[in-house]
Amino acid sequence: MLLITEQNDQLDYLTEEDEKGGKNYFIEGIFMQSEQKNRNGRIYDKKVLFNEAKRYDKEYVKANRAMGELGHPNGPTVNLERVSHKITELRYEGNDVYGKAKILETPYGKIVKNLMDDGVKLGVSTRGMGSLEEKNGVKYVGKDFMLAAVDIVADPSAPDAFVDGVMEGKEWVWNNGILKEQEIQCYKACLCNTKNVTEDQKIRMFENFMSKLQKF
């Protein structure tokens, strides 16, 4: 499974007065889109995306644990020390999944609030796990897609630590309910830097790689 990210900057800023006369900050807008090629050249099937969004809504949003981070995390796990917001609502319109998130009183949440007060344009970046299948030059996200989080980013269109939104050189697998990273970059580098790799060498590298997978 690959770590897949998608960005969207169609957001509105909202503030609501709380019981103590203070302000609650929210962002609201399109969080996910289906049935069209996104800026990363990928397409999400509507049924696949909506089914996964509904699962996430039931297991995380309605359970009050749909947290996200500020910035671009480098893995699928939510880091509690970087949490800035929690999603309070998901709804479905046409081919899009709209969301609303409350900005929290955490260190990173306070940064988001200051940015909003100063008029900085923010966006959201979905973070999920899944496979990709290429058809006619277009990458389709597989039925195994699993949404991990929706993060806040300063510039959704800027280059980041991902290549086409997919973490380079790393794959992830489920192991007893835990996602574990598989390091494959060393194998790729070995193949790229070695001239005239023999079939025996390729087989040995593959067997070594598989033996490490079996240890997880």
Q: Which helix (H) or strand (E) holds 112?
A: helix 107-117
* pLDDT tens digits for range 192-207: 565 565 655 655 555 5
Q: How confident is the model at residue 88 (pLDDT cuts 50, 70, 90)?
A: very high
Average pLDDT over residues 8-14: 83
Contacts of 36 (CB under 8 A, 6+ apart): 43, 95
CA-nearest of 4, 145, 171 to 72 is: 4
How many angstroms separate the CA atoms of 27 and 112, rounded? 10
Is 85 one of the catalytic residues? no
Options 34, 72, 84, 85, the catalytic residue: 72
Is 125 one of the catalytic residues? yes
Q: How many CB atoms lie within 10 A of CB 121?
A: 12
pLDDT above 80 (res 25): yes
CA distances to 25, 104, 115, 136, 170 from 41, rounded to whole Å, are 33, 33, 30, 12, 20
Is the pTM higher than 0.95? The answer reads: no
Contacts of 138 (CB under 8 A, 6+ apart): 37, 41, 42, 43
**Three-class SS of residue 87?**
strand
Q: Given the structure tokens 């999920």, which residue do they identify?
A: 128
Options 84, 125, 131, 211, the catalytic residue: 125
Q: In what order do the strands lie in the sheet with 132-135?
A: 42-43, 138-141, 132-135
* pLDDT tens digits for range 45-71: 999 999 999 999 999 999 999 999 998
Domain-wise residue ranges, the chain: 2-176, 184-215
